[in-house]
Amino acid sequence: MASSHSSSPVPQGSSSDVFFKKEVDPTKHIRPVQSLPDVCPKEPTGDSNSLCVAPSLVTDQHRWTVYHSKVNLPAALNDPRLAKRESDFFTKTWGLDFVDIEVIPSFYLPQISKEHFTVYQQEISQREKIHERYKSICPPKDTFDRTLLHTHDKSRTDLEQVPKIFMKPDFALDDSLTFNSVLPWSHFNTAGGKGNRDAASSKLLQEKLSHYLDIVEVNIAHQISLRSEAFFHAMTSQHELQDYLKKTSQAVKMLRDKIAQIDKVMCEGSLHILRLALTRNNCVKVYNKLKLMATVHQTQPTVQVLLSTSEFVGALDLIATTQEVLQQELQGIHSFRHLGSQLCELEKLIDKMMIAEFSTYSHSDLNRPLEDDCQILEEERLVSLVFGLLKQRKLNFLEIYSEEMIITAKNIIKQCVINKVSQIEEIDTDVVVKLADQMRMLNFPQWFDLLKDIFSKFTIFLQRVKATLNIIHSVVLSVLDKNQRTRELEEISQQKNAAKDNSLDTEVAYLIHEGMFISDAFSESELTPIAIDTTSQRNASPNSEPCSSDSVSEPECTTDSSSSKEQTSSSATPGGVDIMVNEDMKLTDLELGKLANNIQELLYSASDICHDRAVKFLMSRAKDGFLEKLNSTEFITLSRLMETFILDTEQICGRKSMSLLGTLQSQAHKFVNRFHEERKTKLSLLLDNERWKQADVPAEFQDLVDSIADGKIALPEKKSGATEERKPAEVLIVEGQQYAVVGTVLLLIRIILEYCQCVDNIPSVTTDMLTRLSDLLKYFNSRSCQLVLGAGALQVVGLKTITTKNLALSSRCLQLIVHYIPVIRAHFEARLQPKQYSMLRHFDHITKDYHDHIAEISAKLVAIMDSLFDKLLSKYEVKAPVPSACFRNICKQMTKMHEAIFDLLPEEQTQMLFLRINASYKLHLKKQLSHLNVINDGGPQNGLVTADVAFYTGNLQALKGLKDLDLNMAEIWEQKR
């Protein structure tokens, strides 16, 4: 029976039998290859879904993550106290720095209390009450047979008599405890007097075990009886089932033979070709992947080569491209698990190298010889460094350049001083050790040459700084321009997309109107651009070879050129170097604008640094009062040099630095004070020694006055030989008028011209010079008044008396100064700001004071003659002889007066003065005649007086310049009846 119903053996599936299996969906049943977890932190592993959770090596390298924790999971699981460490896969890379720390409760998990379940209990309590009520109303149905239940309960009761130990699944008599509990040794102990009792107990135990066996057998038989029908049914259908299986086996065998023949004839070759094609595609993929891995493997050596040639931008681009490839296409490869972190460390190293390289470049650029004509040192190197620093957002490189500028400015001054001191043989450097002390031993010409050299070196230094900063500024502006153009392109593309959407909406409306299927229209509109692009690509490169013959490998072939996505734009620096701006400059417009402003401020700072160092150099020389002791020519030369340097730096840097200008103004103020005090002291000494006698006028003073008349207010240059041959003149001729002057006034005019020339040479001291000059003119007016009118010259110089000639000479000197005050005023007015014109009122006050002084001198001359008339005419008696002695004395004194003032004062002033004197004479004569009671009655007394008056009138009109003088002597008579 067994042979008749035995089935044929089922054939085992071979390599070709795989096609008999049910076709499965590879996307549903084939599990993707899972990569092992990477030991290297920051290395993205796993599938693409995990990329959003795991930290990114590139984007998160500067952000703190859980991988920065000092105690990692391997260190936590590895117990360092174990004597022997496990060396399996999961523990062989664990660290040794395990620290057992207390687990802090999570901040993100709330503390759960009973209050959290209060709402749930309130909701479920009502449902529970309803459920219990329904259970009491509708009890569960009893569908079991009571008899069977009773039988089941009876068998269950019988089975409960069997000890539980026999029901255990691990029951085994070879266990000593189990054996002792089932067969106690007390039942087998026959020694002693208890043998009969032990035998009885052993027999009882045997019967008990037999009883247990019977209960089990009865229950087994009962269970078999309950299932007897199914058992006998299975036995009867066994033969029929075996027949069916035999027929089925034969049919299956026949079918397999036919399928094997069909597979061998029709499918095996085609499938083999498909397998080969698939294998080839896989090999191409593997080859491209290996080629990419080989390229990535050469990243570090290539970066080292680029760094050796200072190609920092290329090295950074290579590192960025490699990290992108590692993150996208070589993700999860075990051999590159540490490459990402190594590239990050290498990038940090490049940052430090660029900072150090920029510092070295700044030092070498600023400290190279200033005689070199090349303004920019290695422009391409500078552009590369700036691009690298901008790419890495290292925006503090300007601070390094600023520090180098300060150091270089100090060294320039120090080197110039050393070179100058070494050329002076009088300075013993062994005795005078300090450089500042050596510099102070220079005289003015030597020190002035040193300062000129420093200023020229500073000018070249600023030109170099400006050229370098212009290169950096052009790089920053090119990056900013690239950002703006990129943003404009994005806006244009967005506008095009919006226009495309609008046109698509219009097309949809048209299609709805025409009754077409919208989905078909969309598919057609999407496929058309793709076909056009494909056609254009084929037409553009008809002879180009693909990376492989199969399209599967095309995405892999584009991996090597992943950096080609970066668009570049080119511009040129002021030096002519082309600038290629990559798209990966992640600087904002605000940062670039701020950096450009900082570059301009750095240029201003360079000018301020040079001015500050020059100020310190000047102040170190001015400690011993050296600058205050300079004469006018030396200080003017120094001032012009400083002003030229200030203008040059302003032209280079675009902003005027105020430190050196402030120092110049401070020194100019001190110079003005000293200049004024020297000239005021000189004028005071001249006035104290002046005897108020007419002095000869040297030819140089006449030339000086003539130059003023020509509109040139300046001291004339000394002419050798010509001036010495010319003899001095008696008077000074000013615009056709003769001025008899004293020597002090000639020197005062020269001093005034020195003030005016100083204003021309140092325009910044115009206001100070104006106040000082007005003070000097006031001093001359007041001091000359004290000496002449106040008769101070009697005690100071030792004059016996102040004569009318002294008074007239003093008046003429004052008139000469008054003549030049408008010229001086116009000179200062042309050099003042409009808001400073109010200071010109000083000249108006001075003019008024001088006119008052001149009037007082004229009044003094009249007063002298008035006292003389009063003294002589008070003794006048009308008697013979004629002319009387009184009138002879009066005419004699009038002649002396005329002789004293006629050569000093002009004719008009002489006439006016004698008119006033004559009026005084008539007043005194009239008074005396009234006292003598002499009237115009034609009597003898009248005749005598008329003869004396005629003598006085004739004598007075005989003097020079007084012929046409209307004396009108008839006013002396009083008509009495």
For residue 974, the 8-state DSSP code is -
Nearest to 585 by CA among 572, 597, 595: 595
Above 50 in pLDDT, residue 227? yes
pLDDT digits (tens, 9 = 90+) for 328-353: 777 777 777 777 777 777 777 777 77
Residue where a domain terminates, one of 825, 860, 895: 860
- Per-residue pLDDT of 457-493, as tens digits, reads 888 888 888 888 888 877 777 777 777 777 777 778 7
Strand partners, 732: 739
Q: Is 660 among the domain residues? A: no
More confident of the two residues 138 and 216:
216
Same domain, residue pair 731 and 822: yes
Give 665-671's long-range contacts (Cβ < 8 A, gap of 24+): 665/764, 667/618, 667/622, 667/627, 667/628, 667/635, 668/635, 668/639, 668/762, 668/764, 668/765, 668/768, 669/765, 669/768, 670/627, 670/628, 671/627, 671/628, 671/630, 671/635, 671/762, 671/765
Q: How far is CA 503 from CA 489, 498, 500, 507, in A?
A: 21, 9, 5, 6
Lowest mean pLDDT among 248-257, 718-727, 959-968: 718-727
The reported pTM is 0.56
Is residue 632 domain-shared with residue 683, that is, in the same domain?
A: no
CA 761 to centroid of chain Cα atoms: 40
Reference 253, options 19, 12, 23; nearest CA is 12
269-283, 431-445, 656-670: segment of lowest average pLDDT = 431-445
CA 955 to chain centre: 94
pLDDT for 18 beyond 80: no
Average pLDDT over residues 628-650: 84
Residues 902 and 925 in one domain: yes
Task: Verify that 759 and 628 share a domain, yes or no.
Answer: no
Residues 616 and 478 in one domain: yes
Considering the domain boundaries, does residue 923 fall inside one?
yes
Q: Is residue 837 part of a domain?
A: yes
Q: Please tell me whether residues 888 and 958 are part of one structural domain.
A: yes
What distances in angstroms separate CA 794 from CA 688, 756, 862, 867, one per listed residue? 11, 34, 21, 21
Whose structure tokens read 């007084």?
Answer: 962
Question: What pLDDT is stored for residue 32 in this prediction?
Answer: 42
Dist CA 314 CA 310 (whole Å): 9
pLDDT tens for 790-812 read: 988 888 888 888 899 999 999 99
Residues 675 and 751 in one domain: yes
**Segment 1-19 mean pLDDT:** 40
Do residue 767 and residue 709 come from a single domain?
yes
User: Same domain for 852 and 884?
Assistant: no
Q: Check whether residue 429 and residue 376 sit in a common domain.
A: yes
**Three-point CA angle 419, 422, 428, nearest 5°:** 145
Is 6 a residue whose pLDDT tops 50? Answer: no
* Domain closes at, from 291, 326, 342: 291
Are residue 594 and residue 621 in the same domain, yes or no?
Answer: yes
Residue with tokens 């020297």: 678
pLDDT score for 547: 40
Token pair of 164 as six digits: 């539980």
Which pLDDT does position 52 carry in this prediction?
44
Higher pLDDT, 879 or 722: 879
Residue 796 lies in a domain: yes
Q: How confident is the model at residue 115 (pLDDT cuts 50, 70, 90)?
A: confident
Q: Label residue 187 by pLDDT band (50, 70, 90).
A: low
Amino acid at the residue 774: S
CA-to-CA distance for 603 and 472, rounded, in angstroms? 12
Give the per-residue pLDDT at 335. Answer: 75
The pLDDT score that the predictor gives to residue 723 is 46
Judge whether 114 lies within some domain: no
At residue 571, the pLDDT reads 56
Number of domains in the chain: 4
Judged against a pLDDT cut of 50, whether residue 977 lies above it is answered with: no
- Same domain as 366, residue 252: no
Question: 737 in a domain, yes or no?
Answer: yes
In the chain, % of residues over pLDDT 70: 72
pLDDT higher than threshold 70 for residue 561: no
d(CA 490, CA 506) in angstroms, rounded, equals: 24
Q: How confident is the model at residue 278 (pLDDT cuts 50, 70, 90)?
A: very high
Asked if residue 305 has pLDDT above 60, the reply is: yes
Check pLDDT > 60 for residue 716. yes
Please give the pLDDT value at position 845: 94
CATH code of residue 738 = 1.10.357
Query: Is residue 139 assigned to a domain?
Result: no
> What is the pLDDT at residue 724?
54
What is the chain's mean pLDDT, rounded? Answer: 75
Tell me the residue range of the domain where 629 lies: 354-497+584-639
Give the domain-ending residue among 268, 291, 314: 291
Q: What is the mean pLDDT of residues 152-157?
A: 73
Is residue 539 assigned to a domain? no
Residue 848 predicted with pLDDT over 50: yes
